[in-house]
Amino acid sequence: QFAKAFGLWRYGYHMQDKLQKLLNKANNLYASGHLRESIELYDEILKINSDIPAPWYNKALVLYDFGRYEEAISCCDKSIGIYPKHKGAWNCKGYSLAALFRYQEALKCYDQALKLDHNFKDAWYNKGFTLFALENYREAIKCYDEALRLNSRYKEAWNNKGGCLFN
């Protein structure tokens, strides 16, 4: 019994190590701009184990970069389904929805990300960007101010806040 249990544990450990190495390689490919290769590796990882949120989320980022927003949203949903507290997946789903002009849905996603981490500057920025698109400049400025409170050198937030003030 012990030998069988130890063998199963060792197999599981080996698989986790293999998955982590593949995930690291896929992330490095993505970071270096090799999007197609990275998405192929994320797919390979998900064939081995689709119950891990990170490859779903990372695949969503690549799909967003390809302009495949509906697919990105689907991957975010899978990541969130596995780990509902994945603030990055909520944020990614938000800006994918915003890219499809589904602004109200996007705002709900940013609010969920901020509920999980009130100091998530990118969610504040993206919420501000979405409110800007809705021409709700006062609320957008509040979001940009939060992003700037968290990072005073956030150039995009300064730029967009200026756009709000201009309007």
Residue 17: per-residue pLDDT: 82
Q: Block means of pLDDT (10 residues each) for the chain, length 167 residues? A: 44 66 94 96 94 96 98 98 97 98 98 98 98 97 98 96 93
Secondary structure of 96-148 as H, E, C letters: HHHHCCCHHHHHHHHHHHHHHCCCCHHHHHHHHHHHHHCCCHHHHHHHHHHHH
Residue written as tokens 């504040």?
Answer: 124
Residue 102: per-residue pLDDT: 98
Residue 4: per-residue pLDDT: 46
Residue 114 in contact with residue 126, Cβ under 8 Å?
Answer: no
pTM value? 0.88
User: CB-based contacts of 125: which residues, under 8 Å, 6+ apart?
Assistant: 143, 144, 147, 154, 156, 157, 160
Residue 15: per-residue pLDDT: 57
Residue 26: per-residue pLDDT: 96
Residue 16: per-residue pLDDT: 76
Residue 127: per-residue pLDDT: 98
Each residue of 98-127: pLDDT tens digit?
Answer: 999 999 999 999 999 999 999 999 999 999
